[in-house]
Chains A and B, each alone.
Chain A
Amino acid sequence: MPAYFDHAATTPLSALATSALVEQMAKIGNASSLHSPGRLIRKDVEEAREQIAGLVDANPSEIIFTGSGTEANNLALKGFYWKAHAQDPQRRVVLISAIEHHAILDPAEWLDEHEGAELVFIPVTSAGSVDLVFLTDFVQRRGSEIAVIAVMHSNNETGTLQPIAEVVAIAGDIPVHTDAVQSFGKVDFSFSQLGVTSATISAHKIGGPLGVAALILRRGLDLTPILHGGGQERDIRSGTLNAPSIVSFAAAAQESTSKMAERAIYIRSLKKYLVESLFAIFPDITVNGDQTHSLPGIVNITFPGTESDGLLLLLDAEGFYCSTGSACSAGVPRPSHVLLAMGVSERDARSSLRFSLSFSNTRAEIDQLCEVIGSVVHRARAALARG
């Protein structure tokens, strides 16, 4: 039986979210139309917005729907940079953690290359958590030059949770964006309590549909849009509202949040079982990143002496699906920038796999994985040792 251990990449649409999606797709109307069908769709969208706002502890007007988490991150990072820079040309520094997802990392590099920004990375500890000493010192020295700070809520490769409340406290008046794509629906997440300026959440990581997400942006702030058009979302994001996906997103958000505590206990025990089972077979593996302050389902493991793309190929052939760090646009495997930032050697970074579990995984699946992984790792080691 194949087993899917890659829920952080994307996870199946839940039954509830599916029926919400299908039902909504049968309805006619553009949420911006003034006639009755349009108003009915608008009502559905606004109810979804209120529902999601309630779940993240934000005001409904603070939810801006976007076409992806990537878009929401771009909107926040570029928007805050342009705004701050326009108000005060001194503010050119874009300060991001060294372990951000590409959806933050790449727009930050783009701002640096094309928009006159200076990109500065906040280093992380070997446990994969942002270095608050560095941050404090940097803000003290160059606070007046910082346009925006971005630190993700939890890391998608290691699962390590980041000290966002502390980052916000250190940042003072500087806008702080947090990419909460992996956290929302998995661990407690309160927008208002955290005090961040903006946050990103995405539907397809929590059993909602692909291609819908939200930027949660503090009331009263506006940002330079990336897409110009009908101005549907607070004039910050244009495009006809994707009502079916938004309604389905809300259904998934509701479901994953209400079942979160119970699922988290189960998933965490499953992860512990996975790690212990693997340690029993390979005493020399290492788990990357802090596992006490972490998402329940993500674990990143180095299998010394292997190449992760070889491991992936062999596991795929056996019906076990997990992932390696990341690949460039042509698909060439690269050592994870996250692991490298944590001080993991390039060799070990190239020998690491991420397993991400969900409530639908079972111990039996892990047992099956452990039956084949011995020979898989053996062959992957031979492949690296070749020549």
Chain B
Amino acid sequence: MNDNGCIHLSNFKAAKGTNPYKIVHAFFVSCTSFEARRYKATSCLCFACGQPGPRMHSCLHCIYFACYAGHIQEHSKSKKHFLYVDLSYGNVYCTQCQDYIYDRELTEIAMSHRLKEAKSLGISAPFMPWLPNTNEALALRRLRKRRLISPHTTIGLRGLQNLGSTCFMNCIVQTLIHTPLLRDYFLGEKHKCKAQGTGKCLVCEVSKLFQEFYSGAKTPLTLHRLLHLIWTHARHLAGYEQQDAHEFFIATLDVLHRHCMNGVEDTEKKENGRCNCIIDQIFTGGLQSDVVCTSCSGVSTTIDPFWDISLDVAGPGSLQACLERFTRAEHLGSAAKIKCSKCRAYRESTKQLTLETLPIVASFHLKRFEHSSQIDRKISAFVSFPAELDMTPFMSSHRRAVDVGVDNNNAPEGIFEDNRYSLFAVVNHLGSLDAGHYTAYVRQMKGSWFKCDDHMITRASLREVLDSEGYLLFYHKTVLEYECDVS
């Protein structure tokens, strides 16, 4: 195998350019249009033996289709055509050199066609490994210090001092620090700040915090500055008395999202009406609400963004059961009539919530604290939750398919979708409502868990995590899709 091309391919390119390759590739390898797919579907058979393989190739000189079981060799002998495109992978074979020949220019054409094809089929772009650009290669050469991250590394694990009932904050900070995509964003120094140096940007503060967590030092950290900044930005959370970790989580996302917005131009701020900041990219999903009128069966649908899902805890059960209940159609009854736009009258209706789009990080809040006028109480019922969770059953598209019945539907929804999630953090509340304490379990590498109890970090088992009384559960999407970037 040669990655510098060969004399036969060079001569061919000099005489005919890259157009022949472009045409064969766009029509028979990565179809960039429906028309191309029609050609490919009907004509990819060996002209000599009529078989679809093994390893179909097309002659680059005259678009003669032949298989690798002797027929490209035959064609090559009789016509003196030496170059063939493999129709499955797009590589060029030279019968003179008797091997595949790699050529940078042709490889680039192939890649751009693959992206176009992916886009036209609505599938995620093919994975492309990271390659350093000139600046990055330079930086890598200049910075000689390397750190090897082993599967058993404890880098990134640091305790947090309790500054007097600040465990509600510590457990959320530990969760955010161990959110894989957020970590990659900050350690990749992706935050470009407009308010740089003023010391007022909370995103910059979080960025610094990531650096300190992953510096390799092991002594517990103190969050004075962060506390101060949050105190100035979310006054309702200020003070040193015990707070709710869930409220703090949402408030932190909100403050970070607002600070991200400060740093960017108005034009980049929103993509199809939605904020595109790192917080929204990771945590925002879409909740669909369908209200069906019981008289005319008219449906009114709304979709709202969400950062987390709050689930009722009725008694012992499972996370899946809670989600099942959350997405079940519910009759609103005669006391809650809604104006139907079709009937032009107030009607009884049913309401169903489903997940229209899923966030990369799915955060679940088990409502263990009940506040009513009579009594404030904590529900300590055990709710089991899995290490791996498939969200497909709770998706709007799936629910629709189930309601309609799979028989008269097209391709079953979700066949190419991947909605699997894996657990990476759990926040627990121990003790009673007024004398409680927060701790968190975080996943370091896949399968290795640690318990964060303020300044103390101890190793934990997955069993221990799953047996704990979860309050906030954090799941990360297992497989990330790549976005097509074709102009």
Do the two shown chains form a genuine complex with each other? no
